[in-house]
Amino acid sequence: MSRQTISMRFQSSSSNQNASGAGTQPSRPSHLRQVNARGLLRLLREHSPCSKADLVRLSGLSAPTVSSAIGHLESLNLVENLGDGESSGGRPPEMLRFNATRGYVAGVDIGGTRLRMVLADLNGRIVTQWATQFTEKQRTPKAVCSLIHEGLKTMCQDAGASLKRVLELTVGAPGVTNVDAGVVLSAPNLKDWNDVPLRSMMERETCIPTTVENDTNLAAVGEHWRGSAAGVDDFLFIALGTGVGAGIFLRGRLHHGANWSAGEIGYAAVNGQPRSPLEVRATGQLERAIGGGAIESEWRRLLGRDRRSNGDNLEKLRASEIFDLAVDGDRLAGQVVQYAAQILANCIVEMSLTLDPSVVILGGGVGSHPELCKATENLLARNEFARPQVRSSSLGTQAQLYGAVCLSLVASEARLLD
């Protein structure tokens, strides 16, 4: 899932031996061809354009094996022949390129108030996007599935492609999600989203193989693939917006936990507040303290105490606008930033004492604000340990969509070779 070279294990029947040196049953030729074709396809995607000689060198396979596998990939319309390249003294090499328009993948982010979607080619290049605001009636699971289908058809029309060419769909949901079952267990910020079999609903609606994942986890995948966590294998992605959540990467992989609730830090305790029982269908204590609405409530509370003139409708400012005021030196806005940063820093310390990440990335419409990032890092810097580096999301609100595209590409790989 990273931009770096994906490690691959090419196989040959002559190398199948056990530890004692005794021969084992060789792998079936069809299995070996599939393994080698998949490995060469990955190399071709990462190193296009390249020659067969380049692929021999990169893969360690023999020239005849590479030629056979490339012929198979060409028959599947996965390889484009670009003609002769530059000669280094002998016969000019035939240059090849992965055919990224062989199909498409799609990514969806279901937010609390709107739906966002992207269509990408097989290199992960976003071709077109689509978004819509939810009405109250459109927030139910069935209505959202219909909207996603509508968005897919619109994007395919924009791209001049048939819906049948969309190989994989990944949908991000704002709640606890069982990825294996494709079920959204709970999404408190939506309507009637409890135990929703979203994967089966989407596959019935669109006839497209679908992956369902928590939206914050998708953002973490996006940052690892093409964002602030590229090359970082142990990190936390913390999203602050309408809700609060975290995506956890350990040793280069998403960590979901035994019951799919790893990273649901919106339910974490806040210092000085009594801990009440956790309810999966309700928002949590941390979210009620530093979610976007909570930050705005704290701002209004301070305004009321300060009795400041309300001629500029200051009480209607959104959380990011309050942080903007802090950048300009507003005293009360600065207090709101410190309020949010202290609670956030406490949460990061608690997570760091357990997980020890090297980096924490702050994202979401509220969390990625530079003023909050700076204040949080200053608080963590007082520690001798449990002080990970704090970075702002480089993908911003697109992180979830990039993560969805990444997972769709991974899931579509086997389908390309069918």
Highest averaged pLDDT of the listed ranges 50-54, 85-89, 110-114, 380-384: 380-384
Instruction: Give yes or no for residue 6 having a pLDDT over 70.
Output: no
281 & 373 share domain: yes
- Percentages (nearest 5) of helix, strand, coil residues in the chain: 45, 20, 35
Q: Which of 81, 98, 115 is the last residue of a domain?
A: 98
How many angstroms from the chain centroid is the CA of residue 144? 20
pLDDT band at 87 (very low <50, low <70, confident <90, very high): low
Domain membership flag for residue 332: yes
Which has more pLDDT, 15 or 263?
A: 263
- Characterise 193 by phi-psi region: left (phi > 0), alpha (psi -120 to 50), beta (else): beta
**Would strands 244-250 and 253-254 be described as parallel, antiparallel, or unpaired?**
antiparallel
**Domain of 182, in residue numbers:** 104-220+400-416
252 & 387 share domain: yes
Average pLDDT value over all residues in the chain:
89
172 & 109 share domain: yes
Q: Tell me, what amino acid is at 244? A: V
If one counts the domains in the chain, the total is 3
Record the tokens describing residue 262, joined without a space. Answer: 């790893």
294 & 338 share domain: yes
Q: What SS3 class is residue 226?
A: helix
117 & 251 share domain: no
Rounded CA-CA distance 201/106 in Å is 16
18 & 130 share domain: no
Q: What is the mean pLDDT of residues 245-268?
A: 95
183 & 278 share domain: no
Reported as a single tens digit per residue, the pLDDT across 92-123 is 888 999 999 999 999 999 988 899 999 999 99
In this structure, of 123-137, 237-251, 305-319, the range with the lowest mean pLDDT score is 305-319
CATH code of the domain containing 115: 3.30.420.40
Q: What is the mean pLDDT of residues 251-280?
A: 93
Rounded CA-CA distance 335/305 in Å is 13
Residue 12 pLDDT = 36
Instruction: Output the pTM of the full model.
Output: 0.86
Q: What is the mean pLDDT of residues 261-268?
A: 94
Record the tokens describing residue 75, joined without a space. Answer: 């028959």
Please name the helix (run of DSSP H) or strand (run of DSSP E) that holds residue 80, with its range, or none.
strand 79-84
Domain membership flag for residue 49: yes
192 & 288 share domain: no
In angstroms, the Cα distances linking 358 to 281, 364, 389 are 32, 20, 6
Rounded CA-CA distance 287/404 in Å is 24
Q: With helix as H, strand as E and coil as C, how does 391-409 read?
A: EECCCHHHHHHHHHHHHHH
Kindly tell me the sign of the dihedral angle through the C-alpha atoms of 409, 413, 415, 417.
Answer: positive
Rounded CA-CA distance 23/314 in Å is 77
384 & 256 share domain: yes
